[in-house]
């Protein structure tokens, strides 16, 4: 049962790790301990008691020496277990034997752990054994974790041991953070501490996380605490995220908070964007909202996008709406783009839409492109349609573009674009086609695309 429990914990924490994975600078930032009254009372006795079972860490693992004669020895039994072909059966048997080995002789089991091949069996044993050691000897558990957890999935052990520390005494957990070097292990330790603290006293956890002096500590701690706050007050969490985070931490946090906010109408969506600072995160959230609205009602999505003040964001949001719209009603989307007011926005929209249209239905796409009234939009749409067509059938797209009038403004770029795709499927045929092109400037440009 202990093995199954630890396997379940390992699987859960591996999922947590994949959400949080991010590298940080190597500098270790100081971490303030909780102030008196900031959370649950500390357990001084638990923190002070020495290890009853696990002696101090040796400088290096003891060599295993020659195999024991006893066929039932732990090492012999484990060697047999590792030969089991079924991965589930092997993992369970190795886990059972390692748990028994560790219960009988912790030091010998730790020595054997150093020799185990990396993989599921190693991870389960690492999580189980260091979790047990952490109950009595925090420093040794952290030192072993730093030594043995050399891969990302293994560093979940820092979540495990720091959750144990934080459940026992938050002051101990914060103090032990000073023993963890910078990097993914430290991030996991910070997240585990912040999560447990937020469960006990959310306001105190927020104060602690905001007070961390270095961003490589503050960001993961604030992310974790804000996710807990979002359960109770997502709008406050969103406001705090916008004021305390930036870049990837902000984007991850906002995306998760918005899951708690639930369905947004256009007014609430605009409120979300107003809370966010101008920049990539605000743009990414706007695009996500545009796609979400478009999946329900393209007309409503277009009305909302029209309220956006930044022209670049408005253009990108429109492109995202068109991407969704063309999947369900391509003729309606094409008609909308055709009727847009002539100008820069229509020209950009036609190029984007035509490329997507060309990849789905090239013949309809090029007919639609040629029907546009605005010459700049028409030329951009032809180039876009040929580009999309070439992604599916480069030879056909190149030949169609090559048959355009030699004076056609879109011919040069359309041919060159199609040829660049053709080289990926049939370089010799593409070269033969390019050598027959005229005028000389187009022939040279096409051959340049082919590396000639």
Give tens-digit pLDDT for 277-312. 888 888 888 898 899 889 989 999 999 998 888 788
367 and 278 together in one domain: no
Angle made by CA atoms 147, 150, 156, in degrees to the nearest 5: 95
The model's pLDDT over 84-104, given as tens digits with 9 standing for 90+, comes to 999 999 999 999 999 999 999
CATH, residue 392: 1.25.40
The residue count for the chain: 452
229 and 321 together in one domain: no
275 and 234 together in one domain: no
191 and 83 together in one domain: yes
33 part of a folded domain: no
Tokens 């032809």 map to which residue? 382
358 has pLDDT over 80: yes
DSSP character for 321? H
31 part of a folded domain: no
The model's pLDDT over 217-266, given as tens digits with 9 standing for 90+, comes to 999 999 999 999 999 898 899 999 989 998 889 988 988 888 777 666 77
304 part of a folded domain: yes
Which range marks the domain in which residue 446 is found?
349-452
**Cα–Cα distance, 12 to 18 (Å, whole number):** 10
152 and 9 together in one domain: yes
238 part of a folded domain: yes
316 and 363 together in one domain: no
User: What total number of domains does the chain contain?
Assistant: 4
9 and 139 together in one domain: yes
256 part of a folded domain: yes
89 and 192 together in one domain: yes
434 and 414 together in one domain: yes
> Mean pLDDT over residues 53-79, rounded?
59
381 part of a folded domain: yes
Q: Which pTM does this prediction carry?
A: 0.63
Cβ atoms 168, 141 nearer than 8 A: no
Listed as own residue / partner, the contacts of 371-380 with beta carbons closer than 8 Å and 24 or more positions apart are 371/338, 372/338, 373/338, 373/342, 374/342, 374/346, 374/347, 375/409, 376/342, 376/347, 377/342, 377/346, 377/347, 377/350, 378/350, 378/410, 379/409, 379/410, 380/347, 380/348, 380/350, 380/351, 380/354, 380/410
105 part of a folded domain: yes
212 and 240 together in one domain: yes
């Amino acid at each position: 049962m202990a093995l199954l429990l630890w396997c379940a914990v390992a699987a859960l924490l591996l999922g947590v790790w994949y959400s949080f994975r991010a590298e940080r600078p190597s500098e270790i930032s100081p971490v303030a301990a909780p102030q008196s009254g900031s959370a649950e009372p500390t357990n001084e006795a638990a923190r002070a008691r020495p290890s009853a079972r696990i002696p101090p860490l040796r400088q290096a693992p003891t060599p295993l020496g020659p195999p024991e004669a006893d066929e039932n020895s732990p090492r012999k039994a484990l060697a047999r277990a590792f030969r089991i072909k079924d991965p589930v059966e092997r993992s369970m048997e190795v886990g059972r034997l390692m748990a028994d080995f560790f219960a009988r002789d912790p030091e010998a089991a730790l020595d054997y752990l150093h020799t185990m091949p990396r993989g599921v069996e190693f991870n389960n044993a690492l999580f189980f054994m260091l979790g047990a050691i952490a109950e009595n000897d925090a420093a040794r558990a952290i030192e072993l974790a730093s030594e043995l957890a050399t891969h990302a999935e293994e560093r979940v052990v820092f979540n495990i041991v720091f959750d144990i520390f934080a459940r026992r005494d938050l002051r101990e957990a914060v103090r032990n953070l000073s023993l963890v070097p910078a990097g993914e292990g430290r991030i996991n330790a910070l997240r585990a501490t912040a999560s447990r603290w937020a469960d006990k006293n959310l306001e105190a956890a927020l104060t602690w996380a905001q007070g961390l002096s270095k961003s490589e500590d503050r960001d993961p701690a604030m992310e974790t605490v804000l996710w807990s706050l979002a359960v109770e007050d997502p709008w406050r969490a969103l406001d705090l995220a916008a004021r305390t985070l930036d870049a990837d931490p902000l984007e991850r946090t906002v995306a998760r908070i918005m899951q708690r906010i639930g369905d947004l109408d256009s007014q609430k969506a605009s409120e979300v964007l107003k809370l966010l600072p101008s920049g990539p995160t605000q743009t990414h959230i706007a695009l996500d909202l545009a796609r979400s609205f478009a999946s329900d009602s393209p007309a409503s999505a277009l009305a909302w996008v029209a309220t956006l003040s930044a022209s670049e964001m408005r253009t990108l949001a429109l492109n995202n709406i068109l991407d969704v719209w063309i999947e369900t009603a391509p003729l309606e989307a094409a008609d909308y783009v055709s009727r847009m007011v002539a100008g820069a926005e229509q020209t950009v929209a036609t190029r984007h839409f035509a490329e997507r249209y060309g990849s789905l239905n090239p013949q309809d796409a090029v007919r639609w492109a040629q029907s546009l009234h605005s010459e700049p939009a028409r030329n951009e749409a032809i180039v876009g349609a040929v580009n999309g067509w070439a992604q599916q059938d480069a030879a056909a797209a190149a030949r169609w573009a090559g048959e355009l009038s030699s004076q056609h403004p879109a011919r040069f770029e359309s041919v060159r674009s199609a040829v660049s795709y053709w080289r990926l499927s049939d370089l010799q045929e593409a070269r033969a086609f390019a050598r027959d092109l005229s005028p000389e400037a187009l022939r040279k440009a096409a051959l340049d695309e082919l590396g000639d």
